[in-house]
Amino acid sequence: MKSIPLSLFSLLFILSVQTGSAQQTQTLFNGEVSHGGFGGPVLKFSDVAGELGVWIGGRGGWIINFDENHAISLGGGGHALVTEHLVPDQQYGDSERDHFAMNAYGGFIIEYTNRSYQLVHLTASSLIGAGGLMIRDRDFDNVDHTPDSFFVFEPGANLELNVTDFFRVAAGLSYRLTSGISRAGFTDNDFSGINGTITLKFGRFI
């Protein structure tokens, strides 16, 4: 009588092994993982205190290609304001001189790329980091070197064009959200908002 349960257990074990071996494991990403990297300059346009602001910077990252359709990059970047924007508080510092904003920020960037093998494809990214706001006069003779530190979060989306195997151009929009700016009449509203972004990428993408 004991041999019947034992035989039944053996039969069930053999069937489970055969069934498991016949099915393929389902995963979110399929294929061999490959790696690459890139770096390049970034140009941004946005509203700063009611005027057109221009930011120049750069970014780079380590690319992880999970398969031909999905990739992410992990890296960082930084940007500096290159246009002049007069402080709202005209009583700040030396009243006989005009004072302007010096603003820069940077941080960690994660980016998702969909179907990078296509000539034009979509990317979505987020920057999280920090920045500093200082005040200067027109000739940089008088610079307030104590920065007004602030938090920044900037998500965005781009259309990316494959120019060559090692060169890509991305253009799109992002939204910069700052928290902590309160200096010489400036507030977070003066530096938060939509950006038009152009990025040049040089590197190994596949």
Instruction: Give the model confidence (pLDDT) of 80-119 as tens digits.
Output: 999 999 988 877 766 667 888 999 999 999 999 999 999 9
Contact 156, 176 (CB under 8 A): no
pLDDT for the residue 25 = 52
pLDDT for the residue 91 = 74
For residue 2, pLDDT over 50 is answered with: no
Residue 82 is classified by DSSP as -
Does 117 reside within a domain? yes
Does 195 reside within a domain? yes
Task: Give the CA count within 13 Å in the CB-facing half-sphere of 85.
Answer: 24
pLDDT for the residue 176 = 97
CATH value at residue 49? 2.40.160.20
Does 54 reside within a domain? yes
Q: What is the mean pLDDT of residues 23-35?
A: 63
Q: What are phi and psi of 87, to 5 degrees?
A: -65, 140
Q: How far is CA 42 from the centre of its chain?
A: 11
Mean of per-residue pLDDT scores for the chain: 86
| pLDDT single digits (tens) 118-143 | 999 999 999 999 999 999 888 887 88
Does 197 reside within a domain? yes
- Number of structural domains found in the chain: 1
Provide the residue type at 155 as one letter.
P
Does 181 reside within a domain? yes
Does 18 reside within a domain? no
Contact 102, 81 (CB under 8 A): yes
Angle at 90 between CA 85 and CA 94, to 5 degrees: 100
Q: What is the mean pLDDT of residues 149-163?
A: 97
- Which segments within 70-181 are labelled E, that is strand? 70-81, 99-114, 120-137, 143-162, 167-179
Task: Give the CA count within 13 Å in the CB-facing half-sphere of 108.
Answer: 3
Token pair for 93:
């510092």
pLDDT for the residue 98 = 81
3-state class (DSSP) for residue 123: strand
Token pair for 128:
């999280």
For 145-167, give one letter per residue: b (16+ CB within 10 A) or e.
eeebebbbebebebebebeeeee
d(CA 91, CA 101): 15
Does 15 reside within a domain? no
pLDDT for the residue 169 = 97
Going by C-alpha positions, the residue among 203, 200, 198 that lies closest to residue 165 is 203
Does 125 reside within a domain? yes
Q: How confident is the model at residue 68 (pLDDT cuts 50, 70, 90)?
A: confident
For 111, residues 6+ apart whose C-beta sits below 8 A from its C-beta are 61, 72, 73, 75, 123, 124, 125, 126
Domain span at 119? 31-204
3-state class (DSSP) for residue 13: helix
For residue 3, pLDDT over 90 is answered with: no
